[in-house]
Amino acid sequence: MYLLLELSLSTYNNLYFIQIHPFSSSSSETTPNQHSFAVNYFINSCGFPLEKALSASNYVELETPNKPDSVLAFLENHGFTKTQISNLVRKYPPVILCDPEKTLLPKFQFFKSKEETISAIKRNGELLLVDLQACALPNVEILREANVPDAKILLMLKFMPRAFNSTSDRFRKIVNEVKKMGFNPSKLNFVLAVHAFKSMSKSTWGKKVEVYRKWGLSEDDILVSFGKYPWCMIASEHKIMRVMDFLVNKMGWESSLVARSP
């Protein structure tokens, strides 16, 4: 069960990032030496095909190889293969502009072992872009104060690092709200609920509530469903509508059954 949860979280993170940061391919008739320094760097140093290099260059500004070279050397010295580095930079181009000593090293030191660090970053390279001192560490302490076990915090860091990029004041309010809703801090659902509230605005939450209400669910039903499985509110409005349509109209289930087993 725990392994399945980890796989689900990993799959979600990959899809979530693709939706938010669509590094889409584009075609070009020109040759690499006619492109910017960034495009040529991604091709020659990171092994990108031209289309991916063009796309990634829209998200970073490179004029010299000094900083990106130091990032590539740092990752290689910390156990990453050239293929792993290429995949990491392809998914998260801004990583190439990080300061190895000030930005990357603290993240590697935060985890208990090099193997664990590599595993976590391979699952979600966005860990390297989290502001450790200003956001992650203070918010980790807020979770500990709420009696969330370190194992659940680590799981959240690995698969939902975006949740930690928040001011401590806002993060504390979210944690307190989740506690008021009756979530058990020792359970995985607690950090999933925190992630859910952090990932959307009140207006987005309201829109998703309205989608469920169209299928006959009351607000109490929705809150009960959220308490059992917070992922039901993390899904997009479009997905909620499609799944409810399938279960109710195609399968013939009562919407109340979905509420009881979200």
pLDDT digits over 59-70, tens only? 898 889 999 999
Residue 243 belongs to a domain: yes
Segment 190-200 mean pLDDT: 94
When divided into structural domains, the chain yields a total of 1
Residue 128 belongs to a domain: no
Print the domain residue range for 246. Answer: 202-260
At 11 the pLDDT is: 43
3-state secondary structure the chain: CHHHHHHHHHHHHHHHHHHHCCCCCCCCCCCHHHCCHHHHHHHHHHCCCHHHHHHHCCCCCCCCCHHHHHHHHHHHHCCCCHHHHHHHHHHCHHHHHCCHHHHHHHHHHHCCCHHHHHHHHHHCHHHHHCCHHHHHHHHHHHHHHCCCCHHHHHHHHHHCHHHHCCCHHHHHHHHHHHHHCCCCCCCHHHHHHHHHHHHCCHHHHHHHHHHHHHCCCCHHHHHHHHHHCCHHHHCCHHHHHHHHHHHHHHCCCCHHHHHHCC
Residue 179 belongs to a domain: no
Residue 240 belongs to a domain: yes
Segment 26-38 mean pLDDT: 56
More confident: 10 or 111 = 111
- Does the pLDDT of residue 24 top 80, yes or no? no
Confidence class for position 123, pLDDT limits 50, 70, 90: confident
- Does the pLDDT of residue 171 top 80, yes or no? yes
Residue 50 belongs to a domain: no
Residue 41 belongs to a domain: no
